[in-house]
């Protein structure tokens, strides 16, 4: 995605500053909140990070000031925990997760045996972290964004309980979160481009109209990721001190042919299997 304009000031990312507002951090909080870790017994479980190693959920800590912790994210987490969060609130929660995980890459070593280069030095988001932090401000105060939610939010309500599952993809700035009986798929900065696409919208509505399982949501997410890789859009976005504004429609800049091997690899990464129907038809 391109077409972003910004007048933001660089933000010094350090471990002693609140990762939201930049004030002195007088508390450290779990990026994956305690209620979530308790519910799914995540404390000692491992999450894979971009350097192909793992870290325990309880070790993913972020610096916060008490104001942001209590007044901003405490209320937001309660909404997510209750399952009563609106699309705008789900999007704001996804902002926190995306930025927090990307921020941790600035402090974690790429090679723990040979320290020197951080994960963030090797794998960088397409937008600087300062712009990502600006999106984070939409959570509180009189900061506004248009549209709201600014990103595409897809929600799947299951009629049964699933195991916890979480996927964060830096390049697409998206998360997939299965929280028991509800699944959220959020593209943080796409200006609702994915939600507005006719083919994706029809696919999403088709899934919701029938009986579906977690695998259906994962397959939908895989198709969305493939879509973002295949199509390059320019999204006109303006950042100001207290607003993020999308003006006009996204413009298609480039289109690549469908790569079934790449799509199959995405599906495999998500733990699902995809077989091209054309290959089946060619079988003797």
Q: Give the pLDDT confidence of 143-191 residue by residue, as tens digits.
A: 788 899 999 999 999 999 999 999 988 888 899 999 999 999 999 989 9
pLDDT the model gives residue 3: 34
pLDDT > 50? residue 9: no
| Residue closest to 215 by CA, chosen among 154, 155, 273, 173 | 273
Residue 283: pLDDT band (50, 70, 90) is very low
**Which positions ≥6 away from 282 have C-beta within 8 Å?**
none
CB neighbours (10 Å) of residue 120?
Answer: 20
Edge-to-edge strand list for the sheet holding 182-187: 152-157, 182-187, 174-178, 165-169
Element (H, E) at 211: none
pLDDT the model gives residue 266: 94
Q: Which residues pair with 174 in a beta bridge?
A: 169, 187
Cα 273 to Cα 190, 194, 216: the distances in Å are: 27, 23, 11
Q: How far apart are CA 49 and CA 56, in angstroms?
A: 10
pLDDT > 80? residue 126: no
Q: Which residues pair with 56 in a beta bridge?
A: 46
Report pLDDT digits (tens) over 127-151.
545 556 666 666 666 678 889 999 9
Tell me the two tokens of residue 219: 């397959």
**What's the pTM?**
0.85
- φ and ψ at 150, to 5 degrees? -75, -30
Element (H, E) at 182: strand 182-187
């Amino acid at each position: 995605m391109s077409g972003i304009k910004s007048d933001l000031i660089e933000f010094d990312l350090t471990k002693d500053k609140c990762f939201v507002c930049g004030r002195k951090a007088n508390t450290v909080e779990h990026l994956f909140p305690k209620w979530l870790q308790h519910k799914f017994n995540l404390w000692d479980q491992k999450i894979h990070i971009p350097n192909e190693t793992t870290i325990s959920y309880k070790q993913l800590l972020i610096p916060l000031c008490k104001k942001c912790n209590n007044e901003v994210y405490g209320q937001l987490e309660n909404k997510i925990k209750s399952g009563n969060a609106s699309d705008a609130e789900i999007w704001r929660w996804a902002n926190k997760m995306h930025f927090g995980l990307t921020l941790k890459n600035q402090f974690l070593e790429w090679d723990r045996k040979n320290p020197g280069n951080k994960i963030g030095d090797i794998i960088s988001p397409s937008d600087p972290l300062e712009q990502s932090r600006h999106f984070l401000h939409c959570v509180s105060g009189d900061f506004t964004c248009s549209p709201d939610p600014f990103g595409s939010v897809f929600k799947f309500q299951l009629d049964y309980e699933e195991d916890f599952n979480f996927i964060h993809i830096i390049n697409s700035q998206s998360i997939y979160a299965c929280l028991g009986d509800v699944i959220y798929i959020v593209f943080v900065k796409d200006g609702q481009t994915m939600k507005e696409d006719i083919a994706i919208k029809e696919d999403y509505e088709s899934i919701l109209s029938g009986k579906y399982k977690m695998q259906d949501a994962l397959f939908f997410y895989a198709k969305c990721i493939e879509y973002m890789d295949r199509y390059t859009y320019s999204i006109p976005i303006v950042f100001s001190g207290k607003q993020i504004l999308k003006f006009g429609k996204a413009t298609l800049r480039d289109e690549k042919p469908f790569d079934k091997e790449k799509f199959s690899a995405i599906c495999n990464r998500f733990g699902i299997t995809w077989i091209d129907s054309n290959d089946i038809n060619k079988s003797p």
